[in-house]
Chains A and B, each alone.
Chain A
Amino acid sequence: KAGVTQTPRYLIKTRGQQVTLSCSPISGHRSVSWYQQTPGQGLQFLFEYFSETQRNKGNFPGRFSGRQFSNSRSEMNVSTLELGDSALYLCASSSGTSGTTREQYFGPGTRLTVT
Chain B
Amino acid sequence: GDSVTQMEGPVTLSEEAFLTINCTYTATGYPSLFWYVQYPGEGLQLLLKATKADDKGSNKGFEATYRKETTSFHLEKGSVQVSDSAVYFCALSQGAQKLVFGQGTRLTINP
Question: Measuring CB to CB, which residues of chain A are less than 8 angstroms from any residue of chain B?
Answer: 4, 31, 33, 35, 42-45, 48, 50, 55-56, 58, 90, 92, 94, 96, 99-109
Question: Total A-B pairs in contact (CB under 8 Å)?
Answer: 65
Q: Tell yes or no: B103 within 8 A of A by CB.
A: yes
The residues of B that contact A109 with a CB separation of less than 8 Å are: 42-43
Q: Could you list 11 A-B pairs, sorted by A, with CB under 8 Å?
A: A31-B97, A33-B99, A45-B98, A48-B96, A48-B97, A56-B97, A56-B98, A94-B97, A101-B31, A101-B51, A103-B46
The residues of A that contact B31 with a CB separation of less than 8 Å are: 101
Instruction: Check B101 against A101 for contact (C-beta < 8 Å).
Output: no
Contact residues of B: prevailing secondary structure: loop
Instruction: Check B43 against A104 for contact (C-beta < 8 Å).
Output: no
Please, what's the 1-or-0 string for B36-72, where 1 marks a CB less than 8 Å from any CB in chain A? 1000011111100101000000000000000000000
Question: Measuring CB to CB, which residues of chain B are less than 8 angstroms from any residue of chain A?
Answer: 31-32, 34, 36, 41-46, 49, 51, 89, 93-104
The residues of B that contact A92 with a CB separation of less than 8 Å are: 44, 97, 99
Instruction: Check B98 against A99 for contact (C-beta < 8 Å).
Output: no
Instruction: Check A42 against B95 for contact (C-beta < 8 Å).
Output: no
The smallest beta-carbon distance between B1 and chain A, in angstroms, is 10
Instruction: Check B43 against A103 for contact (C-beta < 8 Å).
Output: no
Contact residues of A: prevailing secondary structure: strand
The residues of A that contact B44 with a CB separation of less than 8 Å are: 90, 92, 106
Instruction: Check A103 against B101 for contact (C-beta < 8 Å).
Output: no
Instruction: Check A55 against B97 for contact (C-beta < 8 Å).
Output: yes
The smallest beta-carbon distance between B52 and chain A, in angstroms, is 11
**With the chains together, A50 CA to B32 CA distance in Å?**
20
The residues of A that contact B43 with a CB separation of less than 8 Å are: 4, 90, 106-109
